[in-house]
Amino acid sequence: MNPSIKIFSGTDSQPLSTKIAQRFGAPLGKIDIQKFSDGEFQPVFMESIRGDYVFLIQSTCAPSDNLMELLLMIDAARRASAYKIVVVMPYYGYARQDRKDKPRVAIGSKLIANLLVAAGADRIITMDLHAPQIQGYFDIPVDHLDSSAIFIPYIEQLKLQNLTFAAPDVGSTNRVREIASYFSSEMVICDKHRKRANEIASMVVIGDVANKEIILIDDICDTGGTLAKAANLLMEKGALSVRALCTHPVLSGKAYENINNSVLQELVVCDTIPLKHESPKIKVLSVADLFAIAIRNAYENRSITNLFIHSQLKAKRAEQDPGRRG
């Protein structure tokens, strides 16, 4: 007999978790996150999960509290004799600390991986890690979902002419190249230099953008400074319009001000992180269907390969040329 499936949500991911559970076709499990006056909290499962396949949904934005809450949820599930514990992290906090790029610094993303495994996680499902190699920090399976499954249909319905994709920095080139390949479009790179975190010293555009409809692609929009500066520079170089598509709307500091005052036509984001404010320039696309499929396939031991851009690209090429292989 297969174990039952239970889906639970952390505090800040309730809106997305509710959508995922609805798409999956099961109610969210009952959990009480008890909070104490000194800042501590204690998750309590309000129903039995003994022998169950447990999925815990929590993005680690405002990472300190949400991460600690998630670790305690994992520990509680393990001590309650859950059969398997799958951590669903739509946004993986500390992913930008993926290497030792200066002396005497921590590798935060590796530490988070160690903590999740030590707490008792059996599997991780996440989306658009800032550095894909973070998957290698885990000694348990990691399903790394791709937001292109959300963004590609949106781009197609825009029906833009002279479409060109732009990477807001060199680190985004692989992600942007894959989407540009899907649309058989050109790509350009906005090469930036930083003096310190969240502060850009200079930026140049590599490639021709004159008379092009530009779409910037990135995984994280933090302060919005990079996107605003890149959009301004692209328009100065002759672009007809500039949009930005970013998976995770961290949107800290003056992000809303930077986006609203920029030349961007729109910023399209996913609901991996709930928005703090509304903005006429920000449009939200839901990842609920994608995660619901991933959860079902993980539960039923089925592949999730068809959720990735390389599978979509392969299918598109096969449709265009039935005799072509791969």
Give me the active site residues, please. Answer: 192
| Helix pair angle (309-320, 173-182), 10° resolution | 20
The CB density around residue 240, as the number of other CB atoms within 10 Å, is 16
Cross-strand bridge partners of residue 310: none
Taking the C-alpha atoms of residue 102 and residue 107, their distance in angstroms, rounded to an integer, is 11
Q: Give how far Cα 28 sits from Cα of 11, 18, 151, Å.
A: 13, 7, 27
Q: For residue 200, what are the β-bridge partners? A: 194
Q: For residues 120 and 114, give the distance between their C-alpha atoms in angstroms, rounded to a whole number.
A: 10
Would residue 51 be called left, alpha or beta, if left means φ above 0 and alpha means ψ between -120 and 50 degrees? Answer: left
- Rounded Cα distance, 140 and 89, in Å: 14
Classify residue 196 by burial, with Cβ atoms within 10 Å: 0-12, 13-18, 19+.
exposed
Pairing of β 123-127 and β 142-145 = parallel
Report yes or no: 130 and 220 within 8 Å, Cβ to Cβ.
Answer: yes
